[in-house]
Structure 1
Amino acid sequence: MAKTPSEAPRPVNFDRIARPYRWLEYGTLGPLLQRTRVYFLPQMLDCRQALVLGDGDGRFVAELLRRNERVRVDAVDTSGAMLALLERRARSERVTTHRLQAMDYVPEAGTDLVATHFFLDCLTQAEVDALALRVAGGLVPGGLWVVSDFRIPAGVMRWPARFYVGMLYRVFGFLTGLHVRRLPDHVAALTAAGLTRIGLRRRLFGVLTSELWRADGNGVLQ
């Protein structure tokens, strides 16, 4: 049965949280999310063409540009307000913004870095599976994909983490109309797309994870 207009879900809109986004983040986990984003920056200093999906207000992009003086960045987001903040923070001609769905963007030739920081958790499993195949196909051999995200750890922290992540989903669902309520398995998606995880850093008892993946799957980063 088709939904009536009153029953249809609200369209997802991150514009309304763009300006307070940084402070909402600090109010929940302080600097931990930004530390998670930038953990693998030292491994990105030789990258030249980056695709950044859903960077929010642009703090990762700004730091990447500061640390890597030759990289060019394509930043993709559906939120015009978030992209405006990103451009203002980056202040660089090396950044090109694209307001569209991630699945609608075709990576530039020579893309050797993909960054998805707290973005894949806004997608369904089917969307993450499809995005991984599409974007990984545009990575050069040896190209990197860095992921920051929430995870549900095993052991004693499993149920507190499930409660906390569930609460975050409910809050962001109320503020933005986001309908996703469950973390997708990005590890399975990236593995199926032919990438190998070469770096891993967990924080907050495993609730936060920084991961570095490589397209050719050779070797392990120490």
Structure 2
Amino acid sequence: MSLNPDSGFDRVASFYDLLARLVFGSSLQDAQRWLLPFIPSGSTILIIGGGSGWLLQQVLFHTSPKHVVYLEASEKMLQLAQQQNSFPAIVEFRHGTDGNLQPHERFDIIITPFLLDLFQEQRLSQLMQRLYAVLDPGGLWLFTDFWPVKQKPPFWQKLLAKSMYLFFGLLSDVQGRELPHYGRHFEGLGLKEQQSADFYNGFVQSKVYRKI
């Protein structure tokens, strides 16, 4: 039986962060860190797919949230996040996917760090619609992911993307095979881009979207 594509990162949890640093240096962390100033004090935050917990630590250190739900499909990644340090009572660790969000829940901030690239179009659309539903009007969706700035990316970016999909497809049963058309999904939901920045020679982008 194949792994659930939303939870296959158990196999790579122990070395994922090291591998990311070896390939990308500090670029992935820089891209996530760039989003932090957009989080207002007293926000209710959903971090989905945050992995081993580095981003959660940054959020707690640099911002003053009211409540944080840390939703992670990989049980081993979630365990690593919980083992990082002692966390305040405002943090709720939750094992699962968007299907584990409650209908009544609402968030001021949703953060999807290097998550949306994992899915094929149909699953991505389902995921993004569910996240949109729990984002409060006026709330911000903080996005960071592999999204080449150029419409026709250079060969090295194409090769790197294919290599990543092959590697994580074999080890983690990632279902995606190419970088999605994120913009089309955000536009379809009516989310408005507010700010953006690019990293790693334009291969990684961070964006701030607002729900009108």
Out of 69, 73, 78, the residue aligned to residue 78 of structure 1 is 73
Aligned to 1:65: 60
Deviations 1:117-145 (A, max 9, x none): 00001111112222222211221121010
Out of 141, 146, 153, the residue aligned to residue 145 of structure 1 is 141
Structure 2 residue identity aligned to 1:151: W
Out of 12, 16, 30, the residue aligned to residue 17 of structure 1 is 12
1: CA distance between counterparts of 2:191 and 2:120? 20
2: CA distance between counterparts of 1:107 and 1:186? 24
1:136 and 1:194 in contact (8 A); partners too: no
TM superposition shift of 1:155: 6.5
Change in Cα spacing, 1:47 to 1:130, as seen in structure 2 (3 Å) is farther
Out of 4, 21, 24, the residue aligned to residue 29 of structure 1 is 24
1:65 and 1:90 in contact (8 A); partners too: no
Structure 1 residue identity aligned to 2:202: G
Higher relative contact order (CA closer than 8 Å, sequence separation 6+): 2
Q: How does 1:27-176 map to 2 (within 5 A)?
A: 27-89=22-84, 91-92=86-87, 93-106=89-102, 109-154=105-150, 157-176=153-172
2: CA distance between counterparts of 1:107 and 1:27? 40
1: CA distance between counterparts of 2:23 and 2:134? 35
TM superposition shift of 1:108: 5.6
Which portions of structure 1, spanning 4 or more consecutive aligned residues, are displaced by more than 6 angstroms?
none
Structure 2 residue identity aligned to 1:97: F
Deviations 1:74-110 (A, max 9, x none): 1111111111111222521221122112244236644
Identity %: 24
Other structure's SS at 2:137 match = coil
Change in Cα spacing, 1:179 to 1:133, as seen in structure 2 (3 Å) is closer
TM superposition shift of 1:65: 0.9
TM superposition shift of 1:61: 1.0
2: CA distance between counterparts of 1:29 and 1:215? 31
1: CA distance between counterparts of 2:76 and 2:152? 39
1: CA distance between counterparts of 2:103 and 2:32? 21
What are the ranges of 5 or more consecutive residues in structure 2 without an aligned counterpart?
Answer: none
Judging by fraction of residues, say which structure has more strand: 2
Please give the root-mean-square deviation of Cα atoms over the aligned residues, in Å: 1.9
TM superposition shift of 1:52: 0.9
* Number of residue pairs aligned between Structure 1 and Structure 2: 209
- TM-score in terms of structure 1 length: 0.86
Q: Is the radius of gyration larger for structure 1 or structure 2?
A: 1
Change in Cα spacing, 1:46 to 1:108, as seen in structure 2 (3 Å) is farther
What are the ranges of 5 or more consecutive residues in structure 1 without an aligned counterpart?
Answer: 1-7, 217-222
2: CA distance between counterparts of 1:157 and 1:114? 28
